[in-house]
Amino acid sequence: QLQLQGSGPGLVKPSETLSLTCAVSSGSISDSDYWWGWIRQPPGKWLEWIGSIYHSGATYYNSSLKSRVAISVDTSKNSFSLRLSSVTAADTAVYYCARQPSYGKWYFNLWGRGALVTVSS
Amino acid sequence: QSALAQPASVSGSPGQSITISCTGTYSDVEKHNLVSWYRQYPGKAPEVIIFEVNKGPSGISNRFSGSKSGNTASLTIFGLQAEDEADYYCCSYADTPTHVVFGGGTKLTVL
């Protein structure tokens, strides 16, 4: 069964760039019409969609984060990645990678375990 | 402040039914039949329990039911069980450039 595993530094300094990678296992990131997304959740708060990517590289971003976000895909490594620049304490959150069934199917039916990223000096 | 409004908490006794509301705008909930609901246990990733307003994924109990009227979506849980105690989030597709919005979450307590 396909699984997602996010990974990356757990601590990032203010003004630096947060980088996370989500590895897709037991399946191909290029399979079917899946889109792949990043969602975050600050401690004790609600979920926030960051953006989604197709294996071709097509992307959609949350307009409130678009100026700082870049999501990319590496089909050779069967993974996709998130970069969030100029981070502040407000970017401290658990970051989830997740799968959308297809474009137009705007829900997430498979989630990774989540990676806590703390922004602090 | 989250884009979709949910009650902060609801509660019910085992066997009862409860409904959680999710209020958005014309540009998200009302215009698009793309509302989904997620259940999240403490320290765990969310899990989809309803998609496209009223469809249930395989493996999810049919005690969960979704509906929509105007700009408000609802999740009803029939026959409450202790295992239903969790946080519940609604989500909707929204007009470009927003795309996806979540609710602020509702904590369900089973008394």
B99: nearest CB among A62, A96, A111: A62
Token pair 């004790």 in the structure block, residue: A44
Q: CA-CA distance, B40 to A56, in Å (whole number)?
A: 31
pLDDT tens digit sequence for A105-116: 999 999 999 999
* Interface probe with B: pick from A47, A67, A69, most Cβ of B within 10 Å: A47
Provide the pLDDT confidence category of residue A104 given band limits of 50, 70 and 90.
confident
Q: Are A92 and A42 in contact (CB under 8 A)?
A: yes
pLDDT at B72: 98
Concatenated DSSP letters of A16-35: S-EEEEEEEESS-TTSTT-E
Distances (CA, A) of A6 to A12, B34, B55: 16, 26, 28
- Chain A neighbors of B102, CB-CB under 8 A: 46-49
Provide the pLDDT confidence category of residue B76 given band limits of 50, 70 and 90.
very high
Q: What is the mean pLDDT of chain B?
A: 96
pLDDT at A88: 98
Q: Number of CB pairs < 8 Å for A and B?
A: 60
For the record, the structure tokens of A10 come out as 């757990």
Is B48 within 8 Å of A48 when comparing Cβ atoms?
no
pLDDT tens digit sequence for A41-97: 999 999 999 999 999 999 999 999 999 999 999 999 999 999 999 999 999 999 999
Distances (CA, A) of B91 to A45, A49, A103, B74: 15, 10, 16, 11
